[in-house]
Amino acid sequence: MRIIVDRNIRGAEATFGQHGELVQMDGREIRKQDLEGADLLIIRTATKANAELLDGTSVRFVGTTSIGTDHLDIPWLDQHGICWSNAPGCNADSAAQYTLAMMSLACERLGRILEEQRVGIIGRGNVGSRLQKLLQALDVETVANDPPLADAGETGLVSQAEALTCDIVSLHVPLTKQGLYPTLRMIATEQLAQMPSGALLVNAARGDVADGPALLDGIRSGKVHAALDVWPGEPLLSSELLERSVVATPHVAGYSDDGKRNGTWIVYEAFCEWSGQTPVARDGFDSDRLSLSIRDPANTLDQALDAACFVTDHDRALKALSPQAAEEIARGFDRLRKEYPFRRDFHGWDISCQDSEAGALLTRLGFNVE
């Protein structure tokens, strides 16, 4: 088989590479001519899998190692008999943990205490539910809104209007344009007006879930603050929105090594089932563990989050791009994602902590405390 793979996909050689010729490319640069003679296309969100790319090619299987599928033209793929797979939940822990780190940093910069905030989670799926558990482990008051889950009989949910009354509103929904509850620009002028003055909007879902101009107006007026990992129209970011965001990172919430490898493995298993191939053994597929020694128990959470998620570093790197032209910002945005350093989820860390109370806190969050 000839397999075209986004070069940012972790573990592709150990999985797909065992079944054919692996051709690794920059995801945004994959074009139809690159797919000549290809059987498989394995991508992330940077590649649009649609008729423009695939019509007339030999590709019969498209896999995206991401949760979202808004970059796949699923009706067209189905109509043309092209099997497709995504990786729901693969990086849910990674995205939830990173969102917590974004919130913590934003609260620090706004002079607020995270544990004293009330957080409204919009979308209690794989990521939102995990974020809620992390916040509850810190004794942060939370509410969650999820109309599809409510329709399915899930209890303990609130209306969107109630979620919007919280000090922090965190978005964790897929990007959808149709259906009963479309999410495209679901946070616009009307919704921002319902938020308390000075509230913080956190978005680590999809950029276009929020209306960019409306959000920028809300920030300019002082109505809301924003901590953003995803951006309207990315990678063509608004330089002003970038400058004015309390926390700004380059769409990397789910970019832990664990999340990437989980995504690869989920799509790889789908490929093996589709093709009748025997999958390779997963033994040894995960990464080495990392370690941290907590020196100041009074600052335990900040130290652990900074080590595990390093939001501050990427906030600094992305904001440094804001004076540049839009095309340069876009190139820098992609570069930061491509060159993102090695990161493990909380369970991949061994932490030495002498303070029992601080150690118990980290244990509740999922770290291994020695």
What six digits make up the tokens of 354? 């002498």
Q: Is the dihedral of CA 143, 147, 153, 154 positive or negative?
A: negative
3-state secondary structure at position 175 = coil
What six digits make up the tokens of 102? 């974004």
pLDDT band at 219 (very low <50, low <70, confident <90, very high): very high
**Lowest pLDDT segment from 57-61, 134-138, 338-342:** 338-342
Which of 175, 243, 163 lies closest to 199 in space, CA to CA? 163
pLDDT band at 237 (very low <50, low <70, confident <90, very high): very high
Q: Which regions of the chain carry the CATH code 3.40.50.720?
A: 2-86+256-275, 92-248
Q: Which regions of the chain carry the CATH code 3.30.1370.170?
A: 290-369
pLDDT at 284 over 80: no
Provide the CATH number for the domain formed by 290-369 in this structure: 3.30.1370.170
pTM: 0.86
Q: For the chain, first and last CA: distance in Å?
A: 47
Which of 159, 180, 183 lies closest to 171 in space, CA to CA? 183
**Lowest pLDDT segment from 129-133, 278-282, 314-318, 360-364:** 278-282
Residue 323 preceded by cis peptide, ω within 30: no
pLDDT digits (tens, 9 = 90+) for 52-105: 999 999 999 999 999 889 899 999 999 999 999 999 999 999 999 999 999 999
Catalytic residue from among 130, 185, 234, 337 = 234
Question: In the annotation, is 251 catalytic?
Answer: yes
Catalytic residue from among 124, 130, 206, 225 = 206
**pLDDT for 70:** 87
Q: Supply the DSSP string of 253-313, one letter for each residue.
A: TT-SHHHHHHHHHHHHHHHHHHHTPPPPP-TT-SPPPEEEE---GGGHHHHHHHHHH-HHH
Question: In the annotation, is 206 catalytic?
Answer: yes
pLDDT at 250 over 90: yes
**pLDDT for 296:** 83
3-state secondary structure at position 231 = coil
| Range 92-248 classified under CATH 3.40.50.720 | yes
pLDDT band at 283 (very low <50, low <70, confident <90, very high): confident
Distance between CA atoms of residues 155 and 93, nearest Å: 22
Catalytic residue from among 251, 314, 337, 344 = 251
Q: At what angle do helices 92-109 and 300-309 cross, to 10 degrees?
A: 130
Question: In the annotation, is 234 catalytic?
Answer: yes
Which of 41, 17, 14, 11 lies closest to 27 in space, CA to CA? 41
pLDDT digits (tens, 9 = 90+) for 286-326: 778 999 999 888 889 999 999 999 999 999 999 999 999 99
Neighbours of 284 (CB within 10 A): 7
**pLDDT for 286:** 72
**pLDDT for 343:** 96
Mean pLDDT computed over every residue of the chain:
96
CA angle 344, 304, 199 (to 5 degrees): 100
For tokens 């919704």, name the residue. Answer: 191
Residues of the chain above pLDDT 90, percent? 93
- The correct CATH number of 2-86+256-275 out of 3.40.50.620, 3.90.180.10, 2.60.40.10, 3.40.50.720 is 3.40.50.720
